Amino acid sequence: MRFSQVHKFAVFTLAVLGLVALGAGGEMPMLSLGLTAVGVFASWFIEGDLLHSERYARGWNIALVLALALQASRALFFGAEALLTIVEFAALLQVNRLASRRTARDYQQITLLAILQLIAATVLGGGLSYALCFVGFVIATPWAMTLGHLRREIEGNYLADARAGRAGVPIDVARILRSRRVVGAGLLVGSSVLAVPIFLLTAVIFVLFPRIGLGILTVRSRADTVMAGFGTSVDLSGHGTIRTDQTIVLRVQPPDLPENPPPVRTFRLRGTTFDTYNGRSWSRRPNVGGDHHRIDRDGTLYSLTRLPDPDRDLAVRIVLDPLEPPVVPVLEGAVGFQIDARFESGYPRYADLTIDHDDGVRYSSNNDGIGLVYTTFLGRGPSRPAGRRRIDERRDAFTNRYVQLPSDLSPRVRELTQRVIADETTPLGRARAVERYLSRWRYTLELESGGAARPLEDFLFRTHAGHCEYFSTAMAVMLRTVGIPTRNVTGFLGGTFNRYGRFYAVRQGDAHSWVEVWDPSEGWVTFDPTPPAGEAPVVRTGLFAEIDAVVEAMRMRWRHYVVDFDLGMQAQIARKVWRFFEQRRRHDTLSGRVLDRGRTSIAAPPVPWKGVAGVALGALTLGALAWQINAWRRSGRGIRGAPPTAAVKAAQELARALDAALVARGVARPSNRTPLAWAQELTRRKDAMAALATRVSERYTAARFGAETLSREELDALKAELRSAAQAPSASA
C-alpha cells in the first residue's frame, strides 16, 4: 500500500463522513448538497502540476471571497439562518481544501474541518445517520491523525539537509510518500484498535458532560412531516395520495406486550376535527369561545377529562415525530398524558399543550424539531372526548356549527337518509343505520368521484366506491340533513409491529377519517362507516421491509438513549451512583464502629475469594440457565398452558373458514373486531349467521387461547357447516 494513497483515502473518508453528517440533517438545500458531492468527487482526481499552479490557487481564493460575501448577504439581508449559511460555506471550504491539498498542513486542515462539520451536524441532525457517521469517524480518525503525523515528520525531516556527508542535497519526498514500505497492514490495524478507548472516552464524556441546552446556535433538527388532513381544511381528493406512503409518523409502545404480539393492531388516534362542508372539502370555523387554551397540568401530568392515575390507568408510550401542524394524536379512551420535562440551561422546561373547543390537542412547535414523547393514560371503562362538558354553555352556536350544510346540496341526499333510517328513532340508532348502509360499499383509492362537479352526490348515487374521506363525509352530511349534529374527524387507524424494536409503527398511510355523532345522553360517539378493507394497515413484507424494520428499531433506540438524553437523565444516573457509594460508606462506617467497640485492631477484612468465585459461578450458571429457558420459550415449547402448534394451526384454519363464510353472507368481520365480538354483534342484529358464528367463535377461542384441542373431525364438521351456510340463499334474496 502506497503511503500517499492510504493517507489520501483516510482523509477523504473523514471529509465525506463530515459532509454526509451535515447533509443528513435535512437542512442543506439539494442544490448545495449536489454541488458539494460533485466537488468532492472531482477533487479526488486532481493531482500533479495543477495542485501547484498559482493561477489555480488564485482562482480558488477569488471564489471563496465571493462565496463568503454571498453567504453574509443572505444572512444579513435575506433572512437566511446564520448557522446554515456558515455550514454551506464550510462545505465549500472543505471542497477547496480537498482540491488544493499539497502538504501535511493541508491534510490537517481537512481533518479539522471534518471534525467541526461533525460537531455542527449534532445541531442540525443527530439522527441515526449521524450515529453511523460518528462510528465511521471513530474508526477513520486514528488513521488520518497517525498518517498525518508521519507525513508531517517526513516532510519536516527529509527536506532538511541530509546528514552523513549529504548536506544540502534535497531528498525526493514524493518518492518516499509513494513508497509501499512506510505503511503496512499492522499500522492500520493498530490504529484501528485506538478506536476502542476513543469510543469509551467519548461515552464517558457524553454521560458526564452537563446537558446545558443553551440553544444559542440552535435550528430545527429536521423538517416537520406535513400531514394532509391535519391543517385547516381537507379535500376529498387528498387521502388517496398518502395511503401508500410508508413514512413513519409515530410509534406506539403498549405495556406488557406478549412474547409474540399480533403483527397488526388498529390503534385509533384522534387528530383534527372539521365542522364546515362546502360540497368538495371540509374546513374549520374559528373556535367558539376563543383560541386554543392550555391543558391543566400537575407536574408532568396533563388532564384531558381528568388527571391520570398512574397506579390505575393503562399507560401507553408514544414517540411522535415532528408534525406540521403540531397535532398530538390522542388514543381513543385517553384521560390524560404524562410528558417528562426537558432541561435547558439547567432548568426544566415543561411541554406546552393546548386544546381547542373540538378537543384537538396541539403541542408547542418550539421544541427544536424533535417531536414529542408522551405517555397516554387510558381510563378503565368507557371514555368520551372532553368537549362534552362545554356544550351546554353555547347550545345555539353548537347546533348551528355541527348541522351546517352546503347551500347547493341535492335534496336527494335527505331523501336517501330518510329511507335508510326509516325504522330508527334515536340519534345513535339512526347513526348505526347509516353506518351499516355505507359500510357495504366498496373501498378504493381510485378517485372515481374526484372529478365530478358534486363528488359526494356522485359517490352516493353512482359509484358507491371511494376512500375513507368519502365514507365519513357521506355519513356526516346524511345525518346533518335530519338534524343530527356531526363532525368529521381525521387521525390514524392502524399499527404494524416492529419485532426488533417491539413497538407498533403508525405511518402516513394509516391516516384515516371517521365521524363523531352527538347524542344528548352519551356525548360525542365515534362511528366509522369505511368498509373493513379501508381500515386495515398496509403491511409490507420481504427483505427490504425487514431492513427498514431493523433501521427503524435502531433509530428508535438512538433517539431514546442519545438524542433524548438530557440533564434529567444525567441526574438519575448521578443519584444511582451516589446511593451506591453512600450505601458502601454507611456499611464501612458501621463495620468500623463494631470493631472499635470490640477494641480490636484489625485491618480491612480479607476478601472472601471462595465466596466471590462461588457467586460468580452461580451467576454464570443462572445466566446460562436463563438463556436456555428463554430460548426454549421462544421456540414455543416452553410456554406454559399454550396449545400444541397443530392445535393453533387448526384454530387459525377454522377462523379463516368463518371469515370466508361471513364474507359470502355479506356480513364480513371488520379487522378491528375479534370473531367472538363480531358474533355478538350479529346476535344483536338478529342475523341468520349469529348462532353458527357464535358457536364457531367459541370453539376457536377455546382452541386458540385455551387448553382445549380441536380435533380434525370436529374441524371438518364445522367447516362443512360454514360452507353450507355460505351457499344457502340469504333472506333478502
Residues 365, 301 share a domain: yes
CB burial string 328-358: b at 16+ within 10 A, e below: bbbbbbbbbbbbbebbbeeeeeebebbbbbb
Residues of the chain above pLDDT 70, percent:
72
What CA–CA distance (Å, rounded) separates 292 from 695?
51
- The answer to whether residues 60 and 100 touch, using CB atoms and an 8 Å cutoff, is yes
Range in 158-172, 394-408, 416-430 the model is least confident about: 158-172
Of the residues 208, 241, 274, which one is the last residue of a structural domain? Answer: 208
Q: Quick one: pLDDT at residue 383?
A: 47
Tell which residue, 554, 564, 229, 510, has the closest CA to residue 371: 564
Q: Quick one: pLDDT at residue 165?
A: 42
Residues 148, 115 share a domain: yes
Residues 451, 380 share a domain: yes
Domain that holds residue 316: 233-544
Q: Give the pLDDT confidence of 573-589 residue by residue, as tens digits.
A: 777 777 777 777 776 66
Q: Give the pLDDT confidence of 52-87 residue by residue, as tens digits.
A: 788 888 999 899 999 999 989 988 888 887 877 888
Greater confidence (225 vs 370) lies with: 370
Tell which residue, 349, 391, 415, has the closest CA to residue 213: 349
Of the residues 544, 568, 601, which one is the last residue of a structural domain? Answer: 544
Q: Give the pLDDT confidence of 374-417 residue by residue, as tens digits.
A: 999 998 644 444 444 444 445 555 667 899 999 889 999 999 99
Residue type, 576: K
Q: Give the pLDDT confidence of 612-622 residue by residue, as tens digits.
A: 454 455 555 55
Cell numbers representing residue 71 in the block: 453567504
Given a cut of 90, whether residue 475 has pLDDT beyond it is yes
What CA–CA distance (Å, rounded) separates 128 from 550?
12
Q: Is residue 617 part of a domain?
A: no
Given a cut of 50, whether residue 596 has pLDDT beyond it is yes
Residues 438, 356 share a domain: yes
- The answer to whether residues 665 and 725 touch, using CB atoms and an 8 Å cutoff, is yes
Q: Is residue 382 part of a domain?
A: yes
Tell which residue, 103, 117, 89, has the closest CA to residue 152: 103
Residues 254, 204 share a domain: no
Residue type, 333: G
Q: Quick one: pLDDT at residue 429?
A: 94
What CA–CA distance (Å, rounded) separates 684 from 540?
36
Q: Quick one: pLDDT at residue 124?
A: 67
Q: What share of the chain is helix, strand, coil (3-state, %, to 5)?
A: 50, 15, 35
Q: Quick one: pLDDT at residue 597?
A: 52
Q: Quick one: pLDDT at residue 604?
A: 43
Given a cut of 50, whether residue 125 has pLDDT beyond it is yes
C-alpha distances (whole Å) from 466 to each of 6, 409, 420, 664 are 61, 19, 20, 22
Mean of pLDDT values over 122-130 = 69
Residues 282, 185 share a domain: no
Q: Give the pLDDT confidence of 616-649 residue by residue, as tens digits.
A: 555 555 555 455 545 444 444 443 444 456 777 8
What CA–CA distance (Å, rounded) separates 78 from 71?
10
Q: Is residue 167 part of a domain?
A: yes
Query: How far, in whole angstroms, is CA 572 from its chain's centroid?
Result: 25
Residues 271, 190 share a domain: no
Write the DSSP string, 324-388: ES-B--EETTEEEEE-PPEEETTEEE---EEE-TT--EEE-S-STT--EEEEEEEPSS----GGG
Q: Quick one: pLDDT at residue 251?
A: 92
Residues 266, 325 share a domain: yes
Q: Quick one: pLDDT at residue 424?
A: 87
Q: Is residue 476 part of a domain?
A: yes
Q: Quick one: pLDDT at residue 293?
A: 82
- Positions of E strands within 208-365: 225-226, 233-235, 248-253, 264-274, 276-277, 281-283, 293-294, 297-298, 301-303, 314-320, 323-324, 330-331, 334-338, 342-344, 347-349, 353-355, 361-363
Residues 698, 656 share a domain: yes
Residue 233's contacts (CB-CB under 8 Å, 6 or more residues apart) are 274, 281, 282, 283, 284
DSSP state of 591: H
Q: Give the pLDDT confidence of 652-675 residue by residue, as tens digits.
A: 888 888 888 888 888 888 887 888
Average pLDDT, the chain: 77
Of the residues 529, 544, 559, which one is the last residue of a structural domain? Answer: 544
Q: At what angle do helices 645-664 and 675-685 cross, to 10 degrees?
A: 30
Residue 350's contacts (CB-CB under 8 Å, 6 or more residues apart) are 297, 300, 339, 341
Greater confidence (655 vs 450) lies with: 655
Q: Quick one: pLDDT at residue 589?
A: 65
- The answer to whether residues 237 and 447 touch, using CB atoms and an 8 Å cutoff, is yes
Q: Specify burial of residue 367 (Cβ count, 10 A radius: 0-12, 13-18, 19+).
A: middle
Q: Quick one: pLDDT at residue 712?
A: 85
Mean of pLDDT values over 533-539 = 63
Query: How many Cβ atoms sit within 10 Å of the Cβ of residue 598?
Result: 9
Q: Is residue 594 part of a domain?
A: no
- The answer to whether residues 252 and 318 touch, using CB atoms and an 8 Å cutoff, is yes
Q: Is residue 248 part of a domain?
A: yes
* Structure confidence at residue 248 as a pLDDT band (50, 70, 90): confident
Q: Quick one: pLDDT at residue 623?
A: 54
φ, ψ for residue 277 (rounded to 5)? -120, 130
Residues 404, 294 share a domain: yes
List beta partners, residue 511.
492
Based on the structure, what is the number of domains in the chain?
Answer: 3
Residues of the chain above pLDDT 90, percent:
17
What CA–CA distance (Å, rounded) separates 428 from 484?
9
DSSP state of 640: T
Residues 319, 179 share a domain: no
- Positions of E strands within 100-247: 225-226, 233-235
Q: Is residue 10 part of a domain?
A: yes
Q: CA 457, 460, 461, 463 torsion: positive or negative? A: positive
Residues 267, 133 share a domain: no
Question: 3-state class of 293 per DSSP?
Answer: strand
